[in-house]
Amino acid sequence: MYEASIREPLILGDKTVHDITEDICRPIEGKANKYWWWCFSVSVAALIWWVLCVSITVGQGIGVWGLNNVVDWGWDITNFVWWVGIGHAGTLISAVLLLFRQKWRLSINRAAEAMTIFAVICAASFLLTHTGRPWLDYTLFPLPNQFGSLWVNFNSPLIWDTFAVSTYFSVSLVFWYTGLIPDFAVVRDRAKTKGMKFWYGLLSFGWVGSAKNWQRFEEVSLVLAGMSTPLVLSVHTIVSMDFATSIVPGWHTTIFPPYFVAGAIFSGFAMVQTLLIITRKVLSLENYITTYHIDMMNRIIMITGSIVGIAYITEFFMSWYSGVEYESYCFVNRATGYYWWAYWSMMTCNVISPQLFWFKKLRTNFTFTFILSIVVNIGMWFERFVIIVTSLHRAYLPSEWSTYHPTWVEVGIFIGSIGLFFTCFLLFARFFPVIAMSELKTIVKSSSSQAKREFKEEAHH
């Protein structure tokens, strides 16, 4: 399995197959360190806050939010779109990079896909609570209405969204779990205590890694990747159609689907960076998640960030060029109106900041990447806020122009959802193999530091 030695090694520190098992299983088998407990306590505190704020919302109705008759989507849908967009990077890494046979995906795909699942859980929580009466949420599905036989409206993008998000979540979940099974078997076979033997035995579904198992496993992974690729693109396309199929100025644009998908990948990769830069330090995975991985992801952030930037400019241009005065007003109002600061935060964070990644020094710097990854996600949050709130607060009738401010309950649910996300991720990092060992082991002979050295030596002889 020769690989050109000018390609950078993907596993550093001369790791053998056995070392990989040891390094990835160590965090599961050992005790959690104090950083983990510290992060976990903060996350759980935020999660409790989330439970409180959601309970207030469900108990009293969405009157406790700052929404009004004009701005009837606010932080709730902003947060939904933000979270579901973040989720996209995980599928991109595990599915699209699999189809392109990018080996650098192997040490980040597991964590990225876990991120997808938790992000979609957060997103779904906003979908389910923004209805105001979550006990009636079953009406989102095509069930006969109990007052007659009225069905859901399949012409509505909101129904498409129900299908897209539920398919995306459940397919991502089985894709992730199927990949986890061989790794659970590794932990099972190493387990010293009775409890570990039992739990990981249960989770590993009796996996043995026979030739037939692996043959099917690879086929299943490939076909799932092939289906997840259009699926992930369809999800944010449909999310964008929640807006684009309406006639609200600023929403009614055909550029939305590709622009939303690019934005989703952009913010998702930023979140992967935020998570992995911390994870590699806390779990000592520096030899597996290397500067090269960070560099590759930064390139994707730079490219998708540029696509997003071009989309903003195109939108602005078209609002003037179309000659529709409502559109023109909407965009000028975005940049100079009541919410100008949100617009310019978005422009700075999403258009200007990723351009800094043209410099290799910055692209390979961990501290800089970490800070920028957070900046990008702040920018992407503002993007959704700008699209939703500025379009609604100045719609067609000047008599109903309004402003919108969130209440502490909405802010609380948002901060709480970050707590929910990190609680899930920290539990994952504690009990699940954070790197797909069984897949990473396949490249030890081609892409590890020792393999590269051997190839070089051979070339000299």
Return residues touching another protein (CB under 8 A).
16-18, 21, 142, 149-155, 157, 159-160, 163-164, 166-167, 170-171, 174-175, 178, 181-182, 185-186, 188-190, 201-220, 222-224, 227-228, 230-231, 234, 238, 241, 438-439, 441-442, 445
**Cα–Cα distance measured from residue 295 to residue 256, given in angstroms and rounded to the nearest whole number:** 28
- Compare residues 13 and 201 and give the one whose CB is closer to another protein: 201
| DSSP per position, 292-338 | HHHHHHHHHHHHHHHHHHHHHHHHHHHHHHT--HHHHHHHHHHHHST
Minimum Å gap between C-beta 8 and another protein is 22
Of the pair 61, 230, the CB lying nearest another protein is at 230
Which is closer to another protein, CB of 164 or CB of 420? 164
The tokens describing 419, both together, are 């707590």
As a whole number of angstroms, the distance between CA 428 and CA 329 comes to 47
Q: In this complex, which beta carbon is closest to another protein, that of residue 65 or of residue 175?
A: 175
Smallest distance from another protein to CB 55, Å: 32
Task: Note the Cα 429 to chain centre separation in Å.
Answer: 16
Beta carbon of residue 26, minimum distance to another protein (angstroms, whole number): 13
For another protein, the closer CB: 38 or 214: 214
Compare residues 410 and 439 and give the one whose CB is closer to another protein.
439
Please give the Cα distance from 200 to 315 (Å, whole number). 51
Q: What are phi and psi of 107, to 5 degrees?
A: -90, 0
CB 116 to another protein: min, Å: 15
Cβ within 8 Å of residue 75, ≥6 positions away:
65, 66, 385, 406, 410, 411, 413, 414
Q: CA triplet 408, 385, 48: central angle to 5 degrees?
A: 35
Q: Smallest gap, in angstroms, from Cβ of residue 40 to another protein? A: 27
Residue 300 Cβ vs another protein, minimum distance, rounded to whole Å? 24
Q: How far is the CB of 248 from another protein (least distance, A)?
A: 15
One-letter amino acid identity for 424?
A: C
159 vs 418 by CB, closer to another protein: 159
SS (H, E, C) 280-295: HHHCCCCCCCCHHHHH
Cα 106 to Cα 95: distance, rounded to the nearest angstrom: 11
Minimum gap (Å) between residue 440 Cβ and another protein: 8
- Contacts of 370 by beta carbon, 8 Å cutoff, 6+ apart: 273, 274, 277, 278
Closer to another protein by CB, 137 or 219: give it: 219
